[in-house]
Structure 1
Amino acid sequence: MTDYSIMRELTFSSRDEFTRKPIAEKIIKLLDSDIDVSPMIIDGKWGTGKTEFCFKLKNLIEENNPNDYKVGYVNAFQADHANEPLLTLIAEVASFYDEKDDKRKNFIKNAVPYLRLISGIGLKAGLGFAFGRYAADIPDALADGMEEIKDGSKSLIDQSLESMIKDQVEAEKNLSTLRDALSDIASTNPIILLIDELDRCRPDFAVMMLETIKHVFDVDNVQIILITNAEQLKATIKHSYGSETDSHSYLYKFFKYQINLPTTIKDVEGRSIENNVTYFKVTVQASRVIPQDFKDNEFIYEIPTFLDVGTLSLRNIEQIVRCIETLVVFENIERSKSLTIEQILMVFLSFVYMMDRDLLNQIITRHINPTKFSNFIRGTRLDMRQPYSRSNILNDLSIKNLFSIVFDKYFVNSFLDLPSSTIEQQEVQRHIKISLGKYDYISDIHKDEYIKQIINNLLLFDIVK
């Protein structure tokens, strides 16, 4: 579960493993400019660190704040249960000021009439009897004052329509008053509202929040930023309005600008590296359980570089590290025969445990489908038939090829294409043994025992929960 008390204190100075400060600085430049960018979406998939980025952005705005912004944070998911998005947003704006401040008092005073009108007060029973099955479509507020209407009265519809017209006129007047009060506050202190976690809300609440932003908060000097998963928000809209709805067009009639949080960063050589790869190393290094010699084993950090970790969230990466920590706790160091290869297998099998339980079961039964394994490590069969090909593979044996060799006896069919002659096969095996020495590899017997031990420990608890 996200610890918001810790999140609120985070800045890009405390940590910025995904190099996102430049993105935040550009967002601030847009907010400071004369370009109309509000409401804005900061889009990111689930588990990509959106909430952390949100708080870091808020703290960066407040750190250097020449425009004297009032910056608010709203967790839409936490507000979902109240079912009143307008009340939630107004409460956040009111919180900018002390309870005795006249600005706060005046703002709340002007907000209350509209809040009271749209909050569903009034009686619905009379209209329920009169309109039968259509009663569910009638807002509660329209039933106000209907207690005296008698069954079958000819004037029922006339009185209902009159009530509706009066309420509509009153709503427009009160909404205008509320918007004027909001604009008055923002003229002194421009407002930025960061709305987080909308993609986790009930569909009806999420749509209500969007409508509220559009109709109430579209005033000068008030800027709204939604930090959300845009695709999930589109799915929410379809859920509310039907699968035939053009959710993309509906969503972007509300928003003027979208910032996409990158899922990769560039290394010193300009290559793209998945954020998950970076986060894995950062999380391992920060662990208070994993010993230093384990953290210093550079081979373990190569493992996520060739797996399809783009399918994993940052929370999944944390769970994988929790698997490793669990295995470390269960480890009997006194019985260790080769720390390097043991640590490599521990990390690899933790990724398998999290990413592909079917493959894990195949390893357990020692009956691995070669194609499945190849797809998992995104590798190919190892061709040892020609001297030049096997020298390329074995002279500097990569981690990816290491696993192809280590698990070869587990495959339904061998993953290695060996020469036809027995002498050449023996030569290949000799070279393989030398190459495995890079990873402090002892023997197949030790490897098999250790794999079994790791899997038994992983399956002892359901670590992913």
Structure 2
Amino acid sequence: MKHEDIVIDKKNPFANCKLGREPYANILSSIVDSYAKGFVLAINGEWGVGKTTFVKMWMQKLKNEGHKTIYFNAWENDFVLEPMVGILGELKSLITSDPEKRFDSILKGFAKFSNKIIPASLKFVAKSIGLGGIADVIEKGGEAMAAFFENEISNYDQKKESLQSLRNDLCNLVAQNNGGKPVVFIIDELDRCRPDYAVEVLEKVKHFFSVQGIIFVLSIDKKQLGNSIRGFYGSENINADEYLRRFIDIEYSLPEPSIKDFCEYLYDYFTLNEFFENEWRCTYDTFKDDSLLFKRISVILSTEKHLTLRKIEKLFAYTRLVLKTFRVEGCVLPEVVFMLIYLKYYENDLYNAIKRNKLNIHDIVNQINSIFTISLKDKEQYEYRTLIFAMAKLIYCYNNSYRGTGYYQSLFSRENEELSFDTGEIDKNFLYLALEHCDQKYTRFELSTKSLIQKIDLLESLKQ
């Protein structure tokens, strides 16, 4: 039912990558090695395109190449009031010797600049990241910290010197522990955080951690992060792109993966072959092409609707569940099932209209065509033919849902050998042939959208 995290092989991190993304990791590694002094790299991609898996594979690759790497999931840490707590906690893992001696001055230096950490909570933070030895010093300095904030304007010059000193300490810390290569600090899921936390992470990285030897990698959906920035400042007029340019030196967009390869992978992962390629089904002429038809419609629909990898994954996972409601010898019509599952998830109004038989044949043809059809200029391609046949099967099943009622109509005007309804932009002759094929091949199965939706809505027991 649920897709587990891909196993990342330590020796060959991209061994299990199904999207062919290792070449992009090689490019990014060469950029890291070329500009070792430090910069901020943004890896941009929509939610659900597999950024997290990619950066984790790349991180292991960097480790194999001798880099010290740090992974920080900002979303999992935005419950902490002060972003520096999480960043410092991760940086501590970089230290290989005398952690308290090397880290004390840095932590106390950051305490001067925090506008949120009160002494008691800072003491807790010190203990939680293994620096209990300075916790008492922080606690005793509580009153002094309060006085410091009251006089921060008059201490402006001192504050500038302290910031430079802090950066120098951090730079020295990195240089002594990075093995001669830049440290790669990956911040993931920043676009999912609270707006105030997301903005503060960016600010802290820019002002405090921008030092030689650290390369920050932001794995983000730039559009969603822009929404967080506008939300934080309470204005839709904020130019989020311009704001982010203050922090990001290089932006890299992951190329779109092969949807065909990903659908093939999901087909295997969710073991859909166990049903579609069952030995009995493959010997039965009506069902033997079900596997091919399912793969085709999943690729065409996912591509045409620009579905993210995560959305495609959910459709496959749900298909796997729905197939459990069919008998192995039952007629499935895989294209129709997949299209209806898509409608259930992403076009729910139309799905409910089909479910309740609220549309006449002309209306459903128009609505299905507006959602699924490929441009008529592509009608010679197999994608167009596959979609037309899938639409014909859906129309055929929908009309069958009216059987036994006064609304049922013949789809054909036999005397004129044409369809009895307007097909809009769809090639009428081609749709006629597809519907005639359905009428000849599937009549004995008594198929209808009503019966299929019963299964899709999980209103029938699962079969063993």
- Show CA shifts across 1:309-337 (max 9, x none): 54433222222112211112221224x2x
The match for 1:347 is 338
- Percent same amino acid at aligned positions? 20
Tell me the distance in 2 between the aligned counterparts of 1:349 and 1:10: 42
Structure 1 residue 454 displacement after superposition: 2.4
Candidates 360, 370, 373, aligned match of 1:375: 370
Question: What amino acid sits opposite 2:256 in the alignment?
Answer: T
CA RMSD of aligned residues (A): 4.0
- Show CA shifts across 1:346-392 (max 9, x none): 3332222222122222322342532210022124799xxxxxx9xx7
Structure 1 residue 254 displacement after superposition: 1.0
Question: What amino acid sits opposite 1:443 in the alignment?
Answer: Y
- Structure 1 stretches lacking a partner, 5+ long: 124-142, 148-158, 266-274, 383-388
Tell me the distance in 2 between the aligned counterparts of 1:301 and 1:90: 47
Candidates 250, 256, 262, aligned match of 2:243: 250
The match for 1:285 is 268
Candidates 333, 355, 363, aligned match of 1:364: 355
Task: Map 1:188-207 to 2 at 5 A.
Answer: 188=176, 189=178, 190-207=182-199
SS for the counterpart of 1:307 is helix
The match for 1:134 is none
Does 2:158 match 1:165?
Answer: no
Structure 1 residue 110 displacement after superposition: 1.7
The match for 1:90 is 88
- Show CA shifts across 1:153-200 (max 9, x none): xxxxxx999722365455434433331122113224121100000000
The match for 2:389 is 402
CA change 1:86–1:425 in 2 (3 A) is: closer
The match for 2:104 is 109
Is the Cα contact below 8 Å between 1:75 and 1:197 reproduced in 2? yes
CA change 1:290–1:351 in 2 (3 A) is: farther
The match for 2:254 is 261
Tell me the distance in 2 between the aligned counterparts of 1:453 and 1:12: 45
Structure 1 residue 41 displacement after superposition: 0.3
SS for the counterpart of 2:349 is helix
Tell me the distance in 2 between the aligned counterparts of 1:40 and 1:3: 28
Question: What amino acid sits opposite 1:219 in the alignment?
Answer: V
Question: What amino acid sits opposite 2:106 in the alignment?
Answer: A
Quick one: higher RCO (CA 8 Å, sep 6+), 1 or 2?
Answer: 2
- Show CA shifts across 1:423-445 (max 9, x none): 677999995578559xxx73246
The match for 2:295 is 301
The match for 1:16 is 17
The more displaced of 238-247 and 52-61 is 238-247
Task: Map 1:41-440 to 2 at 5 A.
Answer: 41-65=42-66, 69-98=67-96, 101-102=97-98, 104-119=99-114, 120=116, 163-165=151-153, 168-188=156-176, 189=178, 190-241=182-233, 242-265=235-258, 275=259, 277-288=260-271, 291=274, 293-294=276-277, 297-307=291-301, 309=303, 310-334=305-329, 336=330, 338=331, 342-366=333-357, 367=359, 368-379=363-374, 398-409=385-396, 410=398, 422=416, 432=434, 435=437
Tell me the distance in 2 between the aligned counterparts of 1:181 and 1:343: 63
Is the Cα contact below 8 Å between 2:42 and 2:248 reproduced in 1? yes
Is the Cα contact below 8 Å between 2:43 and 2:218 reproduced in 1? yes
Does 2:453 match 1:455?
Answer: yes
Structure 1 residue 248 displacement after superposition: 1.4
Tell me the distance in 1 between the aligned counterparts of 2:159 and 2:432: 85
The match for 2:441 is 442
Tell me the distance in 2 between the aligned counterparts of 1:96 and 1:17: 31
Does 2:40 match 1:39?
Answer: yes
Tell me the distance in 1 between the aligned counterparts of 2:431 and 2:243: 63
SS for the counterpart of 1:401 is helix
The match for 2:134 is none
- Structure 2 stretches lacking a partner, 5+ long: 120-141, 279-289, 421-428, 460-464
SS for the counterpart of 1:81 is coil
CA change 1:324–1:290 in 2 (3 A) is: farther
Question: What amino acid sits opposite 1:22 in the alignment?
Answer: P
The match for 1:271 is none
CA change 1:33–1:452 in 2 (3 A) is: same
State the TM-score, normalized to the length of structure 1: 0.73
Structure 1 residue 35 displacement after superposition: 7.7
Structure 1 residue 40 displacement after superposition: 0.8
The match for 2:126 is none
Question: What amino acid sits opposite 2:238 in the alignment?
Answer: T
- Show CA shifts across 1:219-250 (max 9, x none): 11111110011111111111122222222111
Question: What amino acid sits opposite 1:42 in the alignment?
Answer: I
Is the Cα contact below 8 Å between 1:113 and 1:174 reproduced in 2? no
CA change 1:430–1:350 in 2 (3 A) is: closer
Structure 1 residue 54 displacement after superposition: 0.9
Structure 1 residue 204 displacement after superposition: 0.8
Is the Cα contact below 8 Å between 1:44 and 1:228 reproduced in 2? yes
Is the Cα contact below 8 Å between 1:316 and 1:354 reproduced in 2? no
Tell me the distance in 1 between the aligned counterparts of 2:211 and 2:411: 69
CA change 1:208–1:11 in 2 (3 A) is: farther
Structure 1 residue 55 displacement after superposition: 0.1
SS for the counterpart of 2:16 is coil
Question: What amino acid sits opposite 1:43 in the alignment?
Answer: N
